[in-house]
Amino acid sequence: MKIVVRVRAMNLTIGAVAIALVISVLATAGKVTTSERRERELDLLSAFRQSDITRLRIERKLGGFVIERESVDDGGIAEWRITSPIQEEVEVFSMERYLGTLEFAGFERVLKPEAIHRKEMGFDDPRWVVHVDMGDIRYRLRLGKDAVSPAGSAYLEVAGENVPRKGIYIIKSSLIRELDAPLDIFRSRSLMPYLSTSLSEIHLDGDGGERRFRRAEGGGWRFDGMAADVNVDRDALDRMLLQFARTKAETFIDIVAAKKALAGDLKIKITLVPKDGSPRGTVSVGGRCPDEPSALVAVRSEPDPVAACVPASIMFGLGMSVVSLKDYSPFYLRTDEVESITIKAGKKVLDFARKEHGYTLRAPEVAEVDAAAGDRRLNTLTGSLGELIEDADLVQLGLQPAQATVVLTRVTDQEKKAFTETITVGTPATDGSVHIQRKSDGAVLKMAPEAARALRADSSLVRELGIFDFGREDIRALELQARGNHQVLTRGESSADQFVMTEPAGYPADHVLVLDLVNRLRKLRATRWAADEDDGTFGFDTPAAVVRFSAQPSVQKDPKWHEFVVGARASDGYFAKESKSSAVFVISRRLVMATRALLINRDHFMISKNLAAKIRLSTPSATVQLIRQGKGFIQGPGQPRLFRSQIEEIIETLPYLLPRGAVHLGAPTPAEGFEQPLLLVDIEALPGHGGGSKARRFRIGNGDSYNFEAIYYARTSDIDATFVLPRQQVRRLLDALPE
């Protein structure tokens, strides 16, 4: 029993203490504590609690203003509003900066009562008065006349109601300037009264024509009562909204003068309709700014009328036409916003979704999808552009009934609610293009073949990218058909790595080029899979190349031939397919270049300086002959003299003349310029080093471009073919010769 009584007594005691603490807190709320006084001894205001400030008024002879706190948002930031002489929102950071000035304002010294002469110090007629209402405290800061020292300082009186430490202080000129803030400092620089996220409608009239937008499902926008109510292009609208954000006051001007400037040169009128029923916002832009001709006048007539000069560059975004604002993409969602994709075409279904750093396939089977492959498919779906078709015949285009549907899903973080976008897919045309219809606005678009392929319910996402996997010595023979050339190469008997060219006959193989091609083929990987079947639109009827090779791994008794065909260009390479398969994949441009190259020896232009006895170089204007002397070369008699550095440049360049490749076999064409060559080079070899011939000649013809590189055509007396040499190599020779 005694224990129970003790517990009850203890509870009553704790309760009494808690009540006493609450009463104490309430009683001291708004009061200046001893510790606060001590901490702020060197501050102008001995008490300062920014959260308690509700009103600021600056009183001046030439006009003051009043700022009042409206509320505090969820982030703890106070919202302020100018209530006199205008009604307008306050620029938050300017207000925070001013309050910070008040909080940390210091003083030079405080005057003793016997040193105070109010009239002489100017307090009967102060220059300005700053009123700060902070809870029960009502500060009145009056600025008097200049003080004797320090230079630029002045007298300031701290007075008011419930002010804990009144007095007259001397403050520096820098603090005077900061406290004497003009109204424009506090005004919001943004002329647009609302953020786009709070709007239900946007209207624009003027440059660019009439444009009416309304909010659509999922955060997008549609035209309203015009342009067939199609969707507004997201990126284009973002560029326009960026100019909304850039419509900021550089300087504020008189609203009457601003309207006068607008009257003669109105460029655009913007009307903003909020979702919550707030007053419409109307902003007009145009006319030259009175004091800054390079800027434009902007007038917000409602709410809170204001006029200002704004950058003229905003018109580049505000003047976009209806055509440039229409949405030509199949989907509103961007790649990184899509959570899942479902494509249905009859009984075929392709369904995959994001999973951690990649994707997971949910239909037609369960499997992991490579992140790069999933991103590539999504980028094609969301990034492709089509052609808007007006008055489309849905039946004729195969959209009624539709041949397939594609659904993209996004889950919003805020609502945890799924947002879906759906398009229907029509019948593919003979060229591979297809028409789609957006469910969101009913618009019909014609999509190009490559974009159309991404709309198919195929298995390309889960196909292995590896096409071939052989060892280097497994490849026994090559057969290439491209650009009218037929090349056959087989391994020689002397070395496992050597190939002999049997067709065309009489041409030695370039072992570097051959081995490069072999290495590319034996480990061939697709860049991506394009389609399960060839629909006739991949260019295989007129192939860019046909590649055959035989492979014989050590475990295989006889060599086996493999073949693939290269078709038309893709955005990231070339389409290709194995002859035994209907599936289409994409290979790199570099591999295609290697399969189309003539694999004949390129070493005939490379001249070893240690094996040459004489070198003669002839241009249309001069001839230079270099003769071996010991380990170096000198000029022959009766010719334009070269500096030693020029001779060395020629001798050092010749051993590295390696063509990029041969462009064709047989006689030169007139366009190659060999009838009047740019340069003739004749080499006489040292005895015993001529390789069966003591003399060799090569010619340099016209300049051109080859595979996006500047080149010169070149031919050598050793082989009946035209090659291409890099321009910079030839220029080194030409620049070393006399003009």
Q: Is the pLDDT of residue 491 over 90?
A: no
What's the pLDDT score for residue 39?
87
Q: Which residue has the higher pLDDT, 714 or 696?
A: 714
Average pLDDT over residues 107-129: 93
Domains plus CATH for the chain? 35-186 (3.30.1490), 196-325 (no CATH), 335-461 (2.60.40), 472-596 (2.60.40), 605-736 (2.60.40)
As a whole number, mean pLDDT of residues 136-147 equals: 96
Whether the Cβ atoms of residue 300 and residue 193 lie closer than 8 Å to each other: yes
- What is the reported pLDDT for 417? 75
Least confident of 408-412, 513-517, 667-671: 408-412
Q: What crossing angle do the helices spanning 727-736 and 644-653 adopt, rounded to 10°? A: 150
Token pair for 198: 């709070």
Report the pLDDT averaged over residues 460-467.
88
pTM of the full predicted structure?
0.71
Q: What is the pLDDT of residue 688?
A: 67
pLDDT at 692 exceeding the cut of 50: no
How far is residue 80's CA from residue 83's CA, in Å, rounded to a whole number?
Answer: 9
* Distance of alpha carbon 157 from alpha carbon 142, whole angstroms: 5
Q: What's the average model confidence in pLDDT over 289-304?
A: 91
pLDDT band for position 694 (cuts 50, 70, 90): low
Average pLDDT, the chain: 90
* Residue 218: closest CA among 327, 378, 358, 342: 327
Going by pLDDT thresholds of 50, 70 and 90, the confidence category of residue 84 is: very high
First to last CA, the chain: 123
Residue 387 neighbours by CB distance under 10 Å: 12
How many angstroms separate the CA atoms of 673 and 666, rounded? 15
Give residue 461's pLDDT. Answer: 83
What does the pLDDT average to over 535-546? Answer: 95
Please check whether residue 123 is in contact with residue 97, taking contact to mean a CB–CB distance below 8 angstroms.
no
SS3 at position 67: strand
**Separation CA 348–CA 719 (nearest Å):** 57
162, amino acid identity: N
Q: How many CA atoms lie within 13 A of 277 on its CB side?
A: 0
Query: Would you say 37 and 107 are in contact if contact means Cβ atoms under 8 Å apart?
Result: no
Distance CA 447, CA 328 (A): 10
Q: Where are the alpha helices (DSSP H) in 337-448?
A: 371-383
Classify residue 161 as exposed, middle or buried by CB count within 10 Å of its CB (0-12, 13-18, 19+). exposed
Tell me which amino acid residue 8 is.
Answer: R
Is residue 305 within 8 Å of residue 255, measured between CB atoms?
yes
**187-226 tens-digit pLDDT:** 888 999 999 999 999 999 999 999 999 999 888 999 999 9
pLDDT band at 689 (very low <50, low <70, confident <90, very high): low
Q: Which two tokens stand for residue 348?
A: 């075929």
Task: For residue 23, name the pLDDT band (cuts at 50, 70, 90).
Answer: very low
Residue carrying the six token digits 């498919």? 377
Tell me the C-alpha distance between 572 and 529, whole Å: 12
For 28-40, how does the pLDDT look when each residue is reduced to its tens digit (9 = 90+)?
445 667 777 788 8
pLDDT recorded at residue 566: 98
Interatomic CA distance for residues 51 and 53, integer angstroms? 6
Please provide the DSSP assignment of 472-488 as one string. Answer: GGGEEEEEEEETTEEEE
Closest CA to 354 of 373, 371, 331: 371
Cross-sheet strand order for the sheet of 348-355: 367-369, 358-363, 348-355, 340-345, 404-411, 418-425, 434-438, 444-447, 387-389
| Structure confidence by residue, pLDDT tens digits, 635-675 | 988 888 899 999 999 999 999 999 999 999 999 999 999 99
419-458: pLDDT as tens digits: 899 999 999 999 999 999 999 999 999 999 999 999 999 8
Residue 3's pLDDT is what?
A: 44
Residues 603 and 317: their CA atoms lie apart, in Å, by 58
CA nearest neighbour of 36 among 45, 23, 25: 45
The string of pLDDT tens digits covering residues 316-359 is: 899 999 999 999 999 999 999 999 999 999 999 999 999 988 89
Tokens of 183: 């109204």
When pLDDT is cut at 50, 70 and 90, the band that residue 275 belongs to is: very high
Q: How many residues are there in the chain? A: 739
Q: Which residues contact 685 (CB under 8 A, 6 or more apart)?
A: 611, 612, 613, 691, 693, 694, 695, 696
**Chain CA centroid to CA 159, Å:** 57
| Burial classification of residue 266, based on how many CB atoms lie within 10 Å of its CB (0-12 exposed, 13-18 middle, 19 or more buried) | middle
Q: Which residues are within 8 A (CB) of 287 and not within 5 positions of it... i.e. 6 or more apart? A: 258, 261, 262, 263, 264, 265, 266, 267, 296, 297
- What residue ranges in 552-642 does DSSP mark as E strands? 560-570, 573-578, 584-587, 612-618, 623-629, 632-635
Integer Cα distance of 199 and 276 in angstroms: 8
* pLDDT score of 128 more than 80: yes
Asked if the model's pLDDT at residue 6 lies above 60, the reply is no
Q: Which residue is listed with tokens 């600056």?
A: 58
pLDDT band at 163 (very low <50, low <70, confident <90, very high): very high
Q: pLDDT digit string (tens) for 613-622?
A: 999 999 999 9
Average pLDDT over residues 689-708: 80
Assess whether pLDDT exceeds 50 at residue 676.
Answer: yes
pLDDT at 21 over 50: no
Residue 73 banded pLDDT, cuts 50, 70, 90? low
A 10 A CB-CB count for 15 gives 10
Identify any residues that bridge with 482 across adjacent strands, giving them in sequence order.
Answer: 485
Q: How far is CA 416 from the centre of its chain?
A: 29
Label residue 416 by pLDDT band (50, 70, 90): low
Specify the pLDDT at position 7: 43
The label of the residue with tokens 């050597």 reads: 498
Query: pLDDT value at position 45?
Result: 96
| pLDDT score for 118 | 92
Whole-angstrom distance, CA of residue 267 vs CA of residue 250: 18
Question: Per-residue DSSP letters for 280-310?
Answer: PEEEEEEEEETTEEEEEEEEEEESS-EEEEE
Residue 412 CB-half CA count within 13 A? 10
pLDDT recorded at residue 250? 92
Q: Which helix (H) or strand (E) holds 185?
A: helix 183-186
Q: How far apart are CA 62 and CA 651, in angstroms?
A: 86
